[in-house]
Amino acid sequence: MSRIFSLNAVAATLLSAHVYAADFHFTGLSGAKTLVVVQTKGQDLPSGQFSAATQAQLKKAADAAQFDASQGSTFELLAPIDSDYDRIMVVGLGDTDELNAANMAKLGGNIHAKLQAHKAEVVDLSFAGIEGQINNAQLAAQFAHGANLRDHSFDVYKKDTENKSVSYHFSVDDTERTAEAYKALAHIEKGVFLARDLTSEVASEMTPVEFAKAAKELEQYGVEVTVLGPKELKKLGMGALEGVGRGSEHGARLVVAHYKGSDNAPIALVGKGITFDSGGYSIKSGPSIARMKSDMAGAAAVLGTVKAMALSKADVNVVAVMGMAANMVSQYAIAPGDVLRTAEGLSVEVVNTDAEGRLVLSDAMWYAREYFKPEIMVDVATLTGSKVRAVGNRYSAIFSEDEQLVSELTAAGKVVNEQVWRLPLGYKDMLKSDIADLQNIGSGGPGATTAASFLQHFAGDTRWVHIDIAGNALASKAKGEVNVGGTGYGVRLLSEWILKTK
């Protein structure tokens, strides 16, 4: 559950601890009234755990439910005759080759939701003796990870909220290893929760100024944070980012959060941070505009990743560079047909003011290259509706000419249930302008690709990946380890990739 906070202290409180998070103990069963037992296909329930009468009841209940221990299947026994438990839930894990991190986190989220619906407050969970592709300690830790990710919700505007937290007591083969494995995942969770809360917050409160304040809170974890305002952006020649923010009250900001855990060349994570996207003079229509508070989810994801790395005290050098602006309509806003000059030196004809994300990213990418000389640059953005039409919201779209980076990020996505699907680059000829070096939308071709090809002009010689997370940033239904609202998509993907391969 999320926190209740004053709207006058949004930024600071968004960085606070997950107050109502599920509570995990890996030191054995507690004698709670609810017991969860996990079972793989072909495995029998531990014969010594229940009396003969309870075992007979469980077998009858399993037969009645046609329980086959397939992954995610469950059956329950209420008020067993000869047991101290009031409820026994048996959860199927599937075949042993299905016991991986992604499946366990998803299962943890779904089972947590069931237990919340039963209003369970304390739960015993038996994980002893279960082995799969990953060790028993990691299996239990990933289950807990999924449960806590599902537990998070953004309910700060509700008058009454319920504390539905669950205290879990695990029986595992190695308590110390399990606790350590979950501790590492808990750091990632805090980065996800930050990204989710920033994304879920309403646009009138989560302005570029408030986002910058939220980023500043990371200084307590050893992160160096720099914020550049409109005047500084103009001085640096960042006309694209400054131009997009010109129509709003606060103007644009460039927010930089640098965690230097090593002396290696940094990995630069560049995030699109449109705190509200009206479309500008190419104004949006229809109900989708209400979701445009999430158009800064890319910036939220890269900031959340930096927080996760700092809390993990990871031996990595990671800098997040976030172009922040509200794309609004006013007498000062850019108009269709205007020409903006980027810091790269390229001029851009603004054919459509609703293609603003690539404009803020162009200057942010230039800044990341110019000031940090990164080894690798990854930009993350809710960039195009074309991406959603191409691959939906179960995948993000990845674009790069670097085969190794595509392979690494694809593998990382599978581990954390944030999968990516590669789409092609190309169609640069569709971006030609009669009066400028480029125009900001393609005159044909696939929209997600022409947008990525626009960004490619600003990658220079740096190894570069573009990840389009349009459709992934907000969830309208809870599922697996994701609750309704901001998803924090990208934090687990990037964290897994950075920690395992860099």
Calculate Rg over the CA atoms of the chain: 24
Same-domain check for residues 241 and 320: yes
Same-domain check for residues 21 and 170: yes
- Final residue of a structural domain among 188, 215, 236: 188
- What does the buried/exposed string (b/e) look like for 176-190 if buried means 16 or more CB atoms within 10 Å of the residue's CB? ebbbebbeebbbbbb
Q: What is the token pair recorded at 67?
A: 């329980």
Average pLDDT over residues 442-451: 96
Same-domain check for residues 364 and 448: yes
Same-domain check for residues 326 and 371: yes
H helices of 52-122, in order, are: 52-64, 101-117
Same-domain check for residues 339 and 231: yes
Same-domain check for residues 106 and 218: no
Identify whether 419 is part of a domain.
yes
Give the chain's mean pLDDT: 93
Identify whether 199 is part of a domain.
no
HSE of 383, CA atoms in CB hemisphere, 13 A: 33
Q: Which domain holds residue 11?
A: 7-188
Instruction: Quickly count helices (H) and strands (E) in the chain.
Output: 14, 19
Q: Is the pLDDT of residue 423 over 70?
A: yes
Q: How many beta carbons lie within 10 A of that of residue 297, not counting itself?
A: 32
What is the reported pLDDT for 9? 44
Identify whether 74 is part of a domain.
yes
- Final residue of a structural domain among 161, 188, 215: 188
Contact present, 296 and 357 (Cβ < 8 Å): no
Say which range, 24-28, 127-131, 388-392, 401-405, has the weakest mean pLDDT: 127-131
What is the reported pLDDT for 501? 86
* Residues 10-59: tens digit of each pLDDT: 444 454 434 457 899 999 999 999 999 999 998 887 667 788 999 999 99
- Final residue of a structural domain among 132, 156, 188: 188
What is the reported pLDDT for 133? 76
Q: Is the pLDDT of residue 296 over 50?
A: yes
Distance, first Cα to last Cα, the chain:
33
Say which range, 49-63, 357-371, 410-424, has the weakest mean pLDDT: 49-63
Identify whether 489 is part of a domain.
no
Same-domain check for residues 228 and 338: yes
Query: What are the residues whose beta carbons fall under 8 Å from the beta carbon of 444, sequence distance 6 or more?
Result: 427, 430
The pLDDT confidence band at residue 66, using thresholds 50, 70 and 90, is: very high
Contact present, 218 and 307 (Cβ < 8 Å): yes
* Residues 75-96: tens digit of each pLDDT: 999 999 888 999 999 999 999 9
Identify whether 477 is part of a domain.
no
3-state secondary structure of 496: helix
Identify whether 452 is part of a domain.
yes
What is the reported pLDDT for 381? 98
What is the reported pLDDT for 162? 66
What is the reported pLDDT for 12? 44
Catalytic residues: 284, 358
Total tally of structural domains belonging to the chain: 2
Structure letter (DSSP) for residue 71: T
H helices of 162-259, in order, are: 175-200, 208-216, 230-235, 239-245
Q: pTM of the full predicted structure?
A: 0.95
Structure letter (DSSP) for residue 23: E
Identify whether 500 is part of a domain.
no
**Could you tell me the CATH number of the domain that includes residue 99?**
3.40.220.10
Same-domain check for residues 65 and 12: yes
d(CA 182, CA 25): 10
Identity of the amino acid at 467? I
Same-domain check for residues 238 and 123: no
Identify whether 288 is part of a domain.
yes
Q: How many beta carbons lie within 10 A of that of residue 414, not counting itself?
A: 16
Backbone angles phi, psi at 115, to 5 degrees: -70, -35
Percent of the chain with pLDDT over 90: 85
- Report CA torsion sign: 112, 115, 116, 122: negative
Same-domain check for residues 232 and 147: no
Same-domain check for residues 82 and 220: no
**Could you tell me the CATH number of the domain that includes residue 435?**
3.40.630.10
What is the reported pLDDT for 317? 98
Same-domain check for residues 142 and 30: yes
